[in-house]
Every structure is written in structure tokens, then in C-alpha cells.
Amino acid sequence: MELAYQMLTRTGRSFWEVTSVMQNSIRKGDYELAGHAMWELLPGSMPYLRKRFLVISAEDCFGVITKEILALSEIGDGTALPRGLALMGTAQKTR
């Protein structure tokens, strides 16, 4: 008997583990792994990813990246999230 609803990605992985991998990859500057994790979360999690990118940019990236991420999230097209991921992946980190 299933006790709780599990959030899964498009290939059946744990939503929360994939989200963690994405954020840790951004912190380490591993754009390839972060991109794969983001792909796992799309397309069903776009609103969540927009919010998460704002948090990651504020917590982990040095400078005014958050304003750029906010502008990209307002665009909301298919290229905004990959561009935001690229910005965060190459930004200087605070941790």
C-alpha cells in the first residue's frame, strides 16, 4: 500500500533528488549535468524551475545574476530556462 504521493521526473526518478543534483551541479559549474537534470524536470515543472532558479541565483551566485534570471523567467519561452542555467553555471559562486 502506497502511503504518500511520489513526485517523479519524466523518466521516473525522484523529483527532489533531481532538483538537488541540478542545484549542486550549478554550484560546481557542471553545466552538462545541470542541463540533464533540468531536462528531467521539464516540461511539467517550468513554474517550479523559474522559482528555483531565482533562489539558486540569490543563494549561490555572486553579483546581479538574480535580476537577469528574473528577466528571463518573465520571458517564459523555451529558451529562457537554458539561458538562465548557462548564466548561473558560468557565474562566480559565493560558496
- pLDDT at residue 33 in the model: 96
Query: What pLDDT was estimated at residue 35?
Result: 94
The burial of 78, by beta-carbon neighbours within 10 Å (0-12 exposed, 13-18 middle, 19 or more buried), is given as: exposed
Residue owning grid cell 553545466: 31
CB of 57 within 8 A of CB of 83?
no
Q: What whole-number distance in Å separates Cα of residue 84 and Cα of residue 50?
A: 9
pLDDT per position as a tens digit, 37-78: 999 998 888 889 989 999 998 888 887 888 888 888 888 777
Quickly count: other Cβ atoms within 10 Å of residue 56's Cβ. Answer: 23
